[in-house]
Structure 1
Amino acid sequence: MAFVTEQKPAVYFNYVGGEWTESSSGERLESFNPATGEMVGSAQNSTVTDVEQAIDMVHSTFQKSDWGYNPKRRYEALLGFAQKIEENLERLAAVLTREQGKTIKESRQELAGCVDTLKYFAGAARTVFGRSIQLEPNNFGVIAKEPIGVVGIISPWNWPALLMIRELAPALAAGNAVLVKPASLTPAISVELFKLIDQVPQFTKGIVSIVTGPGRSIGAAMGTSKKIDMISFTGDTSTGKTIMELATSNIKKLALELGGKSPNVVFADANLDKAIPLIGRSIFISAGQICMAGSRLLVHESIKGEVISRLKQYAEQLRIGNGLSESTDMGPVVSQSQLDLVAEYCEIGRREGTIITGGHRLSGGDFDRGYFFAPTIIDELPSQCRVVREEIFGPVLAVQSFSSEEEALAMANDTDFGLSAGVWTNDLNRAMRMSKGIKAGTVWINTYNKNFPEAEFGGYKQSGLGRTRGIDGLMEYCETKHIHFEVD
């Protein structure tokens, strides 16, 4: 597992007004490889002054350019960006794995998702549509879709490339100007992507900018700025609530994709040969650091023993290590603080339930250089246990059992979240009843974590507001205007 690259850490700058700039603080924000402790790079530790200047620049560019009303240019720009990522995919995947820790296979998958998303919204840029209405004999209405203006995107560290592009692509396709504030743990991959934007001549210089730095200060400045018309935030629910409060400064529009505590509901007639590896992957992919992780397993009591046994075998056969190795199945969690948090939840699970496997930090050899945690399964937890109810964002699966469909549905909905769910059954009628009854934005039937840019995604309850991807994801970044004609 020894992967000390000895690669010189890169220095990353803000991209504002089509130019690479330094922060007024003169300070750097360092990012490290969570598998080895190596420094990956240093970005700008920007100040409120820096972000305010960036907002002014983006706002001015939007007011002066034809970007918002030139769909062909937007199509060409997004398509060109997609092509640049394709050309640089292996290099970018290595940066992503080194900075975030996920496996190189997952990094390639994430970047391929960026390409697919950009290509979809490139086409969508030329199909932003409204409608017309005959209101009275002499009155005619046009319902037009227009860009909102300046959109601030605050993106997370867990899937830092895709979850930034997932919002950036529709925001730009709809004709908006955009300012991005990436997560402080993963600035390198975010700025590397902006380097490719700088190489696409169809982008209006200054229409999209990136400023790195602490969310507590520059994220707050974006939330309160009267020149930012919308905030798109992907992250934890508590921060999402803070963003909502900040947005009251000028009643900004909000798009929030927040936390989850998603269940996989397994009925007695499920195809376990298919279900087991997909359920295992749903919680252990990216070391469980994914918003739609299948972190709760609800299994019919008649097959509970078999399901737990097979999942235990799946977890214990995973190869844990540095994500740069092609053979690695699961990398580290992203930081020491995240490792400590996962360990704390496992101690709660040890006291209130039964650890089936895992529940501890991996140590010895190269494990000591990174933040590696064993894939964990915990059984016999009471329904009010924090391990069952709270988002852990780590490789920890909480198991509960049910005896009837009605009980399974009640348990699936017994959560503050509603991002996604999986249902495993060969009974079509049951699958339909469960998919209608579960209060979640996405319900997968006999599969899990299948996402496409043309299919909407988002949450119920405290999992967020609005939708990303698909037509709704495009319209999320549009204003609706009624233009009324009275004919003499």
Structure 2
Amino acid sequence: MQSRHFIDGQWTDAGRWTDSFDPASCELIGRFADGGEAEAQAAVSAAARAFANPKWSQNPRLRQQLLLDWAAGLKARQEELAQLLTRENGKALAQSRGEIAGAISEIVYYAGLARHNPGHVLEVAPGEFSTMLREPAGVAGLIIPWNAPAVLLVRALAPALAAGCTAVIKPAPQTALFNAAMLEPLFALPSLPAGAVNLFAETGHVGAAYLVASPLVDVLSFTGSTATGQRIMQDAAATMKKLSLELGGKSCCLVFEDTDVEAIAPKLAAAATIISGQQCTAARRVLVQASRFAEMKRALSASLSEIRLGHGLEATTQMGPLIDWQSRDKVERRIAEALDCCDEVLLAGGRPDGALRQGAFLAPALIAHRDSGAFFCQEEIFGPLLVLEAFDDEAEAVTRANHSEFGLSASVWTNEGARAWRVARALRNGTVWLNDHNKLFAEAETGGYRKSGLGRLHGVDALLDFSELKHIYQSVGTLG
């Protein structure tokens, strides 16, 4: 299998190729065209030309039909895409199938919004009208991560197109084959204007840096680490472009004493090991009321121990490998440091034995600790490490959870409805789930407080990240 760049309506390459491997088995999957600044420049220029044509930027019916046709094309190859996603990313096939289905649903959702992005009109004085018109912002640069490359592609591209922007997409090299396959049905549509949507891949960063710094790129959407997001803000400052950034997270699960610990422990284990712990909203810290702390230690240790590791295509697999061996080694080192200095090691995790050892696998690790200022309570370690902490009352639970530079998501586990809402309201997070975790929908905005980012994706508000509000004034007088 191979994929090339798609720029100005044409598949292209410059003769440079990079291999893509299955992180579970080391098997060669295929290769992708490896570009850089030249491809980024060509793609941005094509997108700028396409945006200048009002037949695209001012034609919501065309854009809606393109989104619907893209969704139909993806639906026809759903299983094929899920299998490729599992092979290139490593996640369990059930997760891949769910992600593809969610991505298709989100495209359809934004197809509807393409024809409903209204402004408003005010009569500010007799015969004087102020019209607020919501316009597409221009060229959108989209830097897509590897951990959920279907949904995270769609949740940026679909609202960008619905709003009327043109787009340049730079996928992560770890999932470049998959993202090209996801976009192929869109690129094949004869009604897609040349340059409206462009794709280039690279193993380096110069193309992405060009998107960030170019004055021709009006919006930059990025999902990834807070450190990279901060560099993007610095490098984009000269152009004052709009930024949509979903960055790091350190999700806390607050478990109160009235819960059924045995029943929720498997749910917490699943929340911590989704995509092998490589999801920004994955459970990272579990805060448990002191009266149930010992019970939770036993139950959560058992639940995490029962997580079945394996190749994502195997029916029994619940957790696949990390994205690649470099990431596995980095996460393994940080977990080892946490094990050395925590109060109590409940599960050491580590590399599995046998056939899985050649893949980028790590078993889940579980530790208990009192000091919420420890590096492993504050730092986003992007892998299967979970930290248990005890609290005495609601006030301490909220104080501990809010002791973080992040504010992406959290969950509250209690049978008392008033307490659930009281605590959720006090948490400084963009999303709070009640008696659940990792429930994300096309209709519900997602984003974070503090160093978890800027803007919102999913939902109606995602259109705001790709739009500008224009005020048009006219005095028409009054009769007589």
TM-score range, shorter chain: over 0.9
Deviation at 1:355, TM superposition (A): 1.9
2: distance between equivalents of 1:202 and 1:459?
A: 36
1: distance between equivalents of 2:168 and 2:54?
A: 16
What amino acid sits opposite 1:114 in the alignment?
Answer: A
Residue 365 of structure 2 corresponds to: 376
Deviation at 1:359, TM superposition (A): 2.7
1: distance between equivalents of 2:281 and 2:190?
A: 36
Residue 39 of structure 2 corresponds to: 50
Residue 355 of structure 1 corresponds to: 345
What amino acid sits opposite 1:11 in the alignment?
Answer: Q
* CA deviations over 1:314-346 (Å, ceiling 9, x no partner): 111111010011110100011112111221122
Instruction: Tell me, yes or no, if structure 1 residue 141 matches structure 2 residue 130.
Output: yes
1: distance between equivalents of 2:263 and 2:163?
A: 39
2: distance between equivalents of 1:382 and 1:360?
A: 24
Residue 247 of structure 1 corresponds to: 236
Deviation at 1:205, TM superposition (A): 2.7
In 2, are the aligned partners of 1:349 and 1:381 still within 8 Å (CA)?
Answer: no
2: distance between equivalents of 1:400 and 1:187?
A: 39
2: distance between equivalents of 1:319 and 1:359?
A: 13
2: distance between equivalents of 1:272 and 1:47?
A: 51
What amino acid sits opposite 1:380 in the alignment?
Answer: H
In 2, are the aligned partners of 1:151 and 1:228 still within 8 Å (CA)?
Answer: yes
**3-state SS of paired residue (2:460):** helix
Deviation at 1:86, TM superposition (A): 1.0
2: distance between equivalents of 1:271 and 1:78?
A: 44
Instruction: Tell me, yes or no, if structure 1 residue 340 matches structure 2 residue 329.
Output: yes
The percentage of aligned residue pairs carrying the same residue is 38
Instruction: Tell me, yes or no, if structure 1 residue 446 matches structure 2 residue 435.
Output: yes
Deviation at 1:381, TM superposition (A): 5.0
What amino acid sits opposite 2:345 in the alignment?
Answer: I
What amino acid sits opposite 1:344 in the alignment?
Answer: R
Residue 400 of structure 1 corresponds to: 389
What amino acid sits opposite 1:15 in the alignment?
Answer: F
**3-state SS of paired residue (1:66):** helix
Residue 13 of structure 1 corresponds to: 4
Root-mean-square deviation (CA, aligned residues, Å) is 1.2
1: distance between equivalents of 2:263 and 2:67?
A: 37
In 1, are the aligned partners of 2:351 and 2:357 still within 8 Å (CA)?
Answer: no
Instruction: Tell me, yes or no, if structure 1 residue 63 matches structure 2 residue 52.
Output: yes
Residue 264 of structure 2 corresponds to: 275
Residue 162 of structure 2 corresponds to: 173
In 2, are the aligned partners of 1:148 and 1:477 still within 8 Å (CA)?
Answer: yes
1: distance between equivalents of 2:19 and 2:238?
A: 32
In 2, are the aligned partners of 1:349 and 1:355 still within 8 Å (CA)?
Answer: no
Deviation at 1:47, TM superposition (A): 2.1
User: Counterparts of 1:2-401 in structure 2 under 5 Å?
Assistant: 10-23=1-14, 26-353=15-342, 354-364=344-354, 366-380=355-369, 382-401=371-390
2: distance between equivalents of 1:85 and 1:291?
A: 26
Deviation at 1:93, TM superposition (A): 0.7
**3-state SS of paired residue (1:470):** coil
Deviation at 1:249, TM superposition (A): 2.5
* CA deviations over 1:87-108 (Å, ceiling 9, x no partner): 1011001110110000111100
Deviation at 1:271, TM superposition (A): 3.5
In 2, are the aligned partners of 1:36 and 1:370 still within 8 Å (CA)?
Answer: yes
Which blocks of at least 5 consecutive residues in structure 2 are unaligned?
none
* CA deviations over 1:24-55 (Å, ceiling 9, x no partner): xx321222110011122211111211210111
Residue 475 of structure 1 corresponds to: 464
2: distance between equivalents of 1:380 and 1:47?
A: 45
What amino acid sits opposite 2:42 in the alignment?
Answer: Q
The list of structure 1 runs, each at least 4 consecutive aligned residues, that deviate by more than 6 angstroms after superposition, is none
Instruction: Tell me, yes or no, if structure 1 residue 433 matches structure 2 residue 422.
Output: yes
What amino acid sits opposite 1:356 in the alignment?
Answer: L
Query: TM-score, with normalisation over the residues of structure 1?
Result: 0.96
1: distance between equivalents of 2:463 and 2:204?
A: 26
In 2, are the aligned partners of 1:65 and 1:204 still within 8 Å (CA)?
Answer: no
* CA deviations over 1:167-207 (Å, ceiling 9, x no partner): 10000000100000001111011011121112233322320
In 2, are the aligned partners of 1:440 and 1:459 still within 8 Å (CA)?
Answer: yes
In 2, are the aligned partners of 1:419 and 1:441 still within 8 Å (CA)?
Answer: yes
**3-state SS of paired residue (2:445):** coil
1: distance between equivalents of 2:233 and 2:385?
A: 29
In 2, are the aligned partners of 1:341 and 1:392 still within 8 Å (CA)?
Answer: no
Deviation at 1:215, TM superposition (A): 4.9
| Between 459-468 and 334-343, the greater mean CA deviation after superposition | 334-343
* CA deviations over 1:199-257 (Å, ceiling 9, x no partner): 23332232001000035211101111111101000001000011111111311000000
Task: Label 1:215 to 1:435 Cα distance change in 2 as closer, same or farther (>3 A).
Answer: farther
Deviation at 1:475, TM superposition (A): 2.0
* CA deviations over 1:3-36 (Å, ceiling 9, x no partner): xxxxxxx12100111110003xx32122211001
2: distance between equivalents of 1:16 and 1:377?
A: 46
